[in-house]
Structure 1
Amino acid sequence: MGGTVVRNALLRRTVLSASAASLVLLATACGGSGKADAKPSGPASSSASAPAAPAAKGKTDAELTPLLVAQADLTDHVLEPVSAEDAKGGEDSTSDKPECLPLVKAQSTAAIGTASGIARVIVVAKGKEPAANASPEEKVKAAMDALKATATSVTLQSYEGKGAAEAFGQLKSAAVPCAGGYTADQGGESGKVTKVTQAAPVTGGDEALAYTVVGDADGEPFTTQLVVVRKGNTLATFSAISLGGTAEQPTAVVAAQLKKLG
């Protein structure tokens, strides 16, 4: 889908960048990284009845940035900033199903509704380091495995009043109408999501949901793990993919970010 095309390209570049140093070092060493229900299941369901956020003043970009997960919070990951150009990537996304547009926005780090502030970062899991006495072949394998790392786009959005609860409600309501798939377009690039299902329940914040999104972008199949958590008038979205293999739900990244939010 359009927003996913841009986001996948961004995450590819980030994974390759994060893995590049390891590849160079290792190369040198060899010479001498079902249908969804309307409400989240499991623990997420109990949080779904939590009261909406009270009226509150939204934070600005500058106020949100210090709350965004940082390198010190995830020492076993590599963090990369999102450029202003890439950040604009999903803003002009459209969908053949308007009710699915919030999902497109969430996957492309774009604002859902009218946010007072937004902050973004890309988080890539580090590959397993080879043993000091590893053979050249083992070091090459470790380098190739690093390229299959899960990359997660983390986006914090702040809202005035009940805006965060309303944005979360749009994502939650998208479960049923978008379960069978939808198409999206951005800047002339289009793609198709074929299935949206509930993923493993997530706990934290005032309410949370998790989806597995399966589709095709430019002839390339993809699976995205999407997690959304609302805490007060802040919405945190996590969209994870893997360049090779299957992306796992970014539980460590979610936990670190929620801890940072307090």
Structure 2
Amino acid sequence: MKRTSGARLCATAAIGALSLSLLTGCSDEGSKDSVDAKTSASASASTSSSDPAAKALTSAELEKLLLAQGEAKGFKVDSGDDTLPKSKTQVKTDKPACDPLAWATAALPPGDTTANASNSVSEDKASTATAVPEDLEAAFDIDLTFVGLSSYEGDGAAQAMKAVSDGITACAAGYGLSADSENTKVVKVAAEKASGTGDESLAFTEDVDMDGAGTATFHSEVVRKGNTLATFYTVNFAAFEKGGDMGDIPAALITAQVAKLK
């Protein structure tokens, strides 16, 4: 069924949202079943550990490594600091092994560190638009990606990647997620083919229950370059209106962000 104007207003608010919970909390009608997640393996050619002597970058240093406006052609960069969660304590699951997955989708460090920074990046369609969209759905046909950077001491980055990989397996049958008093059920987790960028990369999909009326499929990727991780989580709000697959993470965005990492 098509969502009502109330759900569309919720989708507007969700542009500044932080997690699956806030997105699905906006739903007031059913959505179509999700597209099946891909199940291909998700690791780059290199799976070597981080430098044992590596020192973590500070949050301030990570802020400078986030993509800035003009550094990725075709994308608009916005600060996510006011809308994304400030702490992992704000994002909880009912299975500890699934915590790294939930943190990654909220642009939080999936591993043991407090050094992190985040923003959001969307398709810059305004600069190429030739006409005003005919309806609200067309206006929402934009991919919004939450990007998180985190840095680790020693082999912490490699351990964080392992925690995400283990979580994909352990949480295949789903898990419960709570954020800002909104509860969500992830019904399925599956690995999919990653970008292959950085020293190591992995990707996964999560099928999320849309208030008991079908599911929606969200895509996430985690990339390690040295002792720094980049997480990506994408939502297409036109797709959110209809349910189903939320859209792939733009490959050009991943390439541009990883290229800035030390």
- 1:90 Cα deviation (Å)? 4.8
Verify: 1:162 aligned to 2:165, yes or no: no
Residues 36-55 of structure 1, C-alpha deviation per residue, up to 9 Å, x if partnerless? Answer: 87xx726x25323x234332
CA distance in 2, matches of 1:217, 1:82: 25
- 1:114 Cα deviation (Å)? 2.8
Amino acid at match of 1:182: Y
Residues 154-183 of structure 1, C-alpha deviation per residue, up to 9 Å, x if partnerless? Answer: 111011111111111100111211111111
What residue is the counterpart of 2:226 in the other structure? Answer: 232
Verify: 1:41 aligned to 2:41, yes or no: yes
What residue is the counterpart of 1:111 in the other structure? Answer: 109
What does 1:72-87 correspond to in 2, within 5 Å? 72-84=70-82, 86-87=84-85
Q: Assess, with a 3 A threshold, how the Cα gap between structure 1 residues 124 and 53 changes in structure 2: closer, same or farther.
A: same
Amino acid at match of 1:261: L
CA distance in 1, matches of 2:169, 2:238: 29
- 1:197 Cα deviation (Å)? 1.5
What residue is the counterpart of 2:199 in the other structure? Answer: 206
Residues 100-136 of structure 1, C-alpha deviation per residue, up to 9 Å, x if partnerless? Answer: 11101111122333324211110011237343xx5xx
Amino acid at match of 1:13: G
Amino acid at match of 1:244: A
What residue is the counterpart of 1:252 in the other structure? Answer: 252
What residue is the counterpart of 1:69 in the other structure? Answer: 67
What residue is the counterpart of 1:94 in the other structure? Answer: 92
Q: Assess, with a 3 A threshold, how the Cα gap between structure 1 residues 79 and 96 changes in structure 2: closer, same or farther.
A: same
DSSP 3-state at the match of 1:123: strand
CA distance in 1, matches of 2:212, 2:45: 39
- Equivalenced residue count is 226
More off after superposition, 219-228 vs 230-239: 219-228
What residue is the counterpart of 1:12 in the other structure? Answer: 15
Q: What TM-score comes out, normalization by structure 2 length?
A: 0.76
Paired residue for 1:127, among 125, 128, 139? 125
- 1:229 Cα deviation (Å)? 0.5
* Structure with the greater alpha carbon radius of gyration: 1
CA distance in 2, matches of 1:80, 1:105: 20
Amino acid at match of 2:79: P
- 1:84 Cα deviation (Å)? 4.4
Amino acid at match of 2:157: A
Amino acid at match of 1:176: T
Amino acid at match of 1:171: V
What residue is the counterpart of 1:20 in the other structure? Answer: none
Instruction: Indicate if the aligned counterparts of 2:81 and 2:119 stay in contact, CA closer than 8 A.
Output: no
- Please identify which structure carries the higher helix content: 1
CA distance in 1, matches of 2:194, 2:112: 27
Instruction: Indicate if the aligned counterparts of 1:36 and 1:175 stay in contact, CA closer than 8 A.
Output: no
DSSP 3-state at the match of 2:64: helix
Q: What TM-score comes out, normalization by structure 1 length?
A: 0.76
Identity percentage of aligned residues: 33
Q: Assess, with a 3 A threshold, how the Cα gap between structure 1 residues 91 and 250 changes in structure 2: closer, same or farther.
A: farther
- 1:143 Cα deviation (Å)? 6.8
C-alpha RMSD over aligned residues: 2.7
Instruction: Indicate if the aligned counterparts of 1:91 and 1:105 stay in contact, CA closer than 8 A.
Output: no
- 1:217 Cα deviation (Å)? 5.4
Structure 1, unpaired ranges of 5+ = 1-7, 15-33
Instruction: Indicate if the aligned counterparts of 1:91 and 1:111 stay in contact, CA closer than 8 A.
Output: no
Amino acid at match of 1:193: V
Residues 221-247 of structure 1, C-alpha deviation per residue, up to 9 Å, x if partnerless? Answer: 432210100111101100111112232
